[in-house]
Amino acid sequence: MALAGRRDAPEPPDFGILKRLARDQLVYLLEQLPGKKDLFIEADLMSPLDRIANVSILKQHDVDKLYKVETRPAPGASDQFCFLVRPRVRTMRFIADIVNADKMSGRSRKYKIIFSPQKFYACEMVLEEEGVFGDVTCDEWSFYLLPLDEDIISMELPEFFRDYFLEGDHRWINPVARALQLLNSLYGPFGKTHGIGRCAKMSYELWRDLEEEGDGEGQGRKPEIGHVFLMDRDTDYVTALCSQVVYEGLVDDTFRIKCGSVDFGPDVTSSDKSIKVLLNSQDKVFSQIRNEHFSNVFGFLSQKSRNLQAQYDRRRGMDIKQMKDFVSQELKGLKQEHRLLSLHIGACESIMKKKTKQDFQETIKAEHSLLEGFDIRESTSFIEEHIDRQVSPIESLRLMCLLSITENGLIPKDYRSLKTQYLQSYGPEHLLTFHNLKRIGLLTEQAAGETLTAVESKVSKLVTDRAAGKITDAFSSLARKSNFRAISKKLGLIPRLDGEYDLKMPRDMAYVFGGAYVPLSCKIIEQVLERRGWQGLEEVVRLLNGNEFSGSGAGGSGAARWHSASSWGLAWPTAPFPLQTAPWRTTPPGTASASSSPCSWGAAPSLRSRRSASWARREVRAAWAGQEPGAAPQPGRLRALCSVLGSPCSELCAPCLVLCARSSVLHAPSSVLCAPCSGWSPRGRGWQCRRCPAGALTGLSCRVQVHLPDHGHHQQRPHDGGHDRGQGLSPEGSLPVKILLTTTRPAPICMRARPAGQP
């Protein structure tokens, strides 16, 4: 989230509140472990933690030593260990190894695990499997948003893209919804919310449900955020693949900006050590050149250097009083500005050396050709040369992906040729890289029916190979319909120029790519704001695979308006599951059981969630509304709930819905939850098992597991007569379902859900 650097832009909200809230919560969690303690920090949390609470603050709250996770503690370590970690299975195994080693050596310690931004059930399950769950205490640091600048905030979840778009893991959707809820509560209700993409829609729906079930925090306050846009990354891959030519983008390409800071090495600092520099608006030099085209930066830095020298020279004619004022008020700031100016000049020189070595101008020219759809064969040849010269493995992949997306995939001949050359240049270990890029749609091969290889082979017999390539390129441009080309034409992403593009006085957003391309995501935002919604953009939305939406007011206002082009063709009347959960993966027969792969479970619903209780109560009652006792619930309502739960079944019964909403340990796809339906019957205020009427469900939680027997023949095991176990078959009849009921404190929900009219 960022505001443009315009003079007429409104003042951004005070995002410093987010930092103070995160710091106060972390201090509270640390003080729950009184006395001296050693703190283990996960690597990708070190930079965010440094922005929130530096070492001095940690020392003030009895943190003795700091360790990086995966580093073993020193022999004379403290008697209390605190782990600040991401919810990852491998980290849980590291912690379990430390605890078990202490137990074997007879060392008694206290252990506290702080998960950020939230804990997942899979992590608790691993601790239980390792036998240390009872030896540790677990807590959450609800650190959802980090202010990087006065108008930029970030969730700092680098694994989000891979987990969701490649692995299909939905566990990070809940933190996104929680982040929206936090913004809404701190800065007042959003004026409008727009979005496009499946992930964006799921996050928005979950946030709406959280707002409906919340206590209305932020309502009645003056809105400080007018519009919120949620967009999936796969909506606009092209913008991320194009070479950046503004200063901040080139610094990121060359040095990698992490958590709003960059490490400048000896080649920039002209010394033997590296320097870590924060890149934000407090850097007076950086704030003035961050959005400038690189061709304008050197001139600005040169003029800035002369101005600084002139300010230094003013001291020569000063008297004693003026000199004293100069030293006390201006000298320190001038020295700081001079130091930053030297660093940015050194960074520019380093960028120039690297980009000159990589034939940057030729790369830009090839990108522009791909974006405009001209000279595709020449651009492909340039990519091949780029690979053969081993200029950069990342740059070569980036150009290949850009070619694939702009052309709706590579023709098989080019795909095989580029893939073979890349593997020969950079090693066969990149076979997995190509596989992953293909899975997420970044580097794909056209289907056989879409290519003109046969035409090219026939034409090549009559003319030269080069002429054949040009002829087939022309035919190919007519035969294939590129989604990117259609979107580009519809939205005017390629500016029409009368003369040379003026980079010093740009007239549109295309200046960030040298005047060749307007970023698609920015253009979509511009169009939606102008049209006040998605009306008139139906064709663009269709080419982007739909899932667009617009909402008025806060999530809890009930004023959301939906415009969906999803493949279902329906707008479901319910919000998605308001729990720390996601559509569950099906474990195919013959593979390892779900319990052997806890990282794929996602986050389990919380037993103590009042919001989930209220949601299930509301939906179950709505499904049974107006029905006679014993009659079937409303099928339309249940089908909507069924889609929310990710189940293909259209006849879920109320007890099954209750179990879905209350399940605290859910290992299986929700589609298997239809099997228990035949085993439960309404009785009084709760649901009882027909096999064992003595065991009412009140005060019990459901635990569903999929068991894959060693033998191919699946049979339902007979019930042993107890009231803690039941078993059935999945709707497909292939996966046995085991239901375990474990006593807990009374559940506040379902066990009171019942058909209307029943006492």
Instruction: Give residue 78's pLDDT.
Output: 87
CA atoms of 620 and 631, how far apart (whole Å): 14
- Residue bearing the bigger pLDDT, 530 or 456: 530
Instruction: Give residue 467's pLDDT.
Output: 59
Instruction: Give residue 317's pLDDT.
Output: 74
Q: List, for residues 419-439, the tens digit of each pLDDT value.
A: 999 999 999 999 999 999 999
pLDDT over 70 at 375, yes or no = yes
CA atoms of 316 and 336, how far apart (whole Å): 20
Q: List, for residues 81-103, the tens digit of each pLDDT value.
A: 999 999 999 999 999 999 999 99
Please state the pTM of the whole predicted model: 0.70
pLDDT over 60 at 9, yes or no = yes
Look at 115-124, 221-230, 730-739 and tell me which has the smallest mean pLDDT: 730-739
- Residue bearing the bigger pLDDT, 359 or 14: 14
pLDDT over 60 at 635, yes or no = no
Amino acid at 564: S
CA atoms of 211 and 228, how far apart (whole Å): 15
Residue ranges covered by each domain of the chain: 16-146, 247-357, 594-752
Instruction: Give residue 744's pLDDT.
Output: 33
Instruction: Give residue 560's pLDDT.
Output: 40
pLDDT over 80 at 194, yes or no = yes
Query: What letter does residue 13 receive in the DSSP assignment?
Result: P
Q: List, for residues 643-677, the tens digit of each pLDDT value.
A: 334 333 333 344 444 333 333 333 333 333 333 44
Binned at pLDDT 50, 70 and 90, residue 463 comes out as: low
For residue 659, which of 709, 697, 711, 707 has the smallest C-alpha distance? 697
Q: 247-357 belongs to which homologous superfamily?
A: Sec1/Munc18 (SM) protein, domain 3a (3.90.830.10)
Range 16-146: architecture per CATH: 3-Layer(aba) Sandwich (3.40)
Binned at pLDDT 50, 70 and 90, residue 334 comes out as: confident
Q: Which residue has the tokens 């780029």?
A: 386
pLDDT over 90 at 527, yes or no = yes
Q: If you count DSSP H runs as helices and E runs as strands, how many of each does the chain have, helices first?
A: 28, 19
Q: List, for residues 20-69, the tens digit of each pLDDT value.
A: 999 999 999 999 999 999 999 999 999 999 999 989 999 999 999 999 99
Instruction: Give residue 470's pLDDT.
Output: 55
Please give the structure tokens belonging to residue 597.
């792969």
Binned at pLDDT 50, 70 and 90, residue 77 comes out as: confident
Average pLDDT over residues 152-178: 94
Instruction: Give residue 671's pLDDT.
Output: 34
Share of the chain above pLDDT 90, in %: 50
H or E segment to which residue 104 belongs: helix 89-105
Instruction: Give residue 285's pLDDT.
Output: 93
pLDDT over 90 at 384, yes or no = yes
Task: Write the DSSP string, 542-603.
Answer: HHTT--EEEEES-GGGS-EE-----TT----SS----SS--PPPP--TTS--GGG-GGGS-P
Instruction: Give residue 214's pLDDT.
Output: 74
pLDDT over 90 at 728, yes or no = no
Task: Write the DSSP string, 283-339.
Answer: SHHHHHHTTSBHHHHHHHHHHHHHHHHHHHHGGGG--HHHHHHHIIIIIHHHHHHHH
Residues in CB range of 738: below 8 A, 6 or more apart: 704, 705, 706, 707, 725, 726, 727
Going from the C-alpha of 759 to that of each of 484, 625, 628, 756, the distances in angstroms are: 60, 14, 12, 9
Q: List, for residues 534-563, the tens digit of each pLDDT value.
A: 999 999 999 998 899 998 755 443 334 344
Mean of the per-residue pLDDT values of the chain: 74
- Is the bond leading into 117 cis (omega within 30 degrees of zero)? yes
CA atoms of 661 and 665, how far apart (whole Å): 11
